[in-house]
């Protein structure tokens, strides 16, 4: 196996999973991108981080991107003698916008590109499988890798799958990012082991409707984003976020908790529109708000 000479650069989008009723199966890529650069060295490990995580994340083999790269090189059969990694992070950490998935997808993508003929040795399906195994589930890594709207899951035999869906060009999003993070493990710990059959049936119907609403019927997004499986159970960890969701939905805005939270995502008719601008003006004090397009490319080479 031969490693390429010189640096390789990639960008990876933020993602929003669940989208209300599609717990652990629906995900959307958003035009907010981390940029990563990696290069094979003769020895050692150099990790540089700017933006989110600067001064907080480890700069050694524990770094999530490095761990993803090591796992990919292991799958390909050879570790490089040394590595340099530079990360410019704009995706907020621990806010429900897929920062860990972006790191994992960025790592596996960079490692593959650093190997001559890497795409022949590890296609996108294999890359998705590796990223999902590192993350534990595919709902964020699938749109981070493939872009757009993706329906994903895991078969009984443990294999992961992902099917891209379509998104009406009228659909955009405004995300409201609170200043306080919530770790995904803490948010998952609030979920019950068993839910009422009626709630499960209601979510199945809404998730199916959401696929249609995103593709061609955005007027159905308010009904399609109703959830009974996870959001209310997480209220103790993010009461302000759930209160904002309720306020927006009462005004007819299709608002949800993004991923495990605490970010709130509201669907709009696209960045720069009257709807998006009006929503940006409703950002709570101390929070950040961004109007974002749905991004079609997932992980891709950066110029």
Q: Which residues are annotated as a binding site for ATP?
A: 92-102
Q: Which residues pair with 163 in a beta bridge?
A: 151
- Which run of H or of E encompasses 77? none
Q: List residues forming the annotated binding site.
A: 92-102
Please name which of 147, 190, 188 lies closest in space to residue 165, comparing C-alpha atoms: 147
- Which run of H or of E encompasses 258? none
CA distances from 232 to 5, 251, 256, 261 (A): 51, 19, 11, 12
**Exposed/middle/buried for residue 240 (C-beta within 10 Å: 0-12, 13-18, 19+):** middle
- Which run of H or of E encompasses 232? none
Residue with tokens 């961004």: 290
C-alpha angle 145/149/152, rounded to 5°? 70
Q: Regarding beta strands 160-165 and 149-154, do their DSSP bridges make them parallel or antiparallel, or are they unpaired?
A: antiparallel
């Amino acid at each position: 196996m031969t490693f390429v000479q010189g640096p390789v650069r990639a960008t990876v989008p933020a993602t929003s999973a669940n989208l209300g009723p599609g717990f652990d199966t629906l995900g959307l890529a958003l035009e907010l991108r981390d940029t990563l650069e990696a290069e094979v060295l003769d020895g050692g490990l150099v990790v540089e981080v700017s933006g989110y995580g600067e001064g907080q994340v480890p700069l050694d083999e524990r770094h999530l991107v490095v761990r993803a790269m090591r796992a990919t090189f292991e799958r390909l059969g050879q570790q490089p003698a040394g590595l340099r990694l530079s990360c410019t992070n704009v995706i907020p950490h621990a806010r429900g916008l897929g920062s860990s998935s972006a790191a994992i997808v960025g790592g596996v993508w960079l490692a593959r590109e650093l190997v001559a003929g890497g795409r022949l040795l590890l296609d996108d399906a294999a890359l998705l499988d590796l990223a999902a195994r590192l993350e534990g589930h595919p709902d964020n890594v699938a749109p981070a890798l493939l872009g757009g709207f993706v329906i994903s899951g895991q078969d009984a035999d443990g294999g992961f799958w992902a099917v891209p869906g379509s998104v009406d060009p009228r659909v955009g999003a405004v995300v409201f990012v609170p200043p306080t993070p919530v770790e995904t493990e803490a948010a998952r710990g609030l979920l019950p082991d068993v839910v009422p059959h009626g709630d499960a049936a209601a979510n199945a119907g809404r998730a199916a409707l959401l696929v249609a609403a995103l593709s061609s019927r955005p007027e159905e997004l308010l009904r399609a984003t109703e959830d009974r499986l996870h959001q209310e159970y997480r209220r103790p960890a993010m009461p302000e976020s759930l209160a904002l969701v309720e306020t927006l939905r009462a005004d007819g805005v299709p608002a949800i908790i993004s991923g495990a939270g605490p970010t709130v995502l509201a669907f709009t008719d696209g960045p720069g529109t009257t709807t998006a601008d009006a929503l940006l003006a409703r950002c709570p004090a101390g929070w950040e708000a961004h109007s974002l397009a749905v991004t079609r490319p997932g992980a891709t080479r950066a110029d």
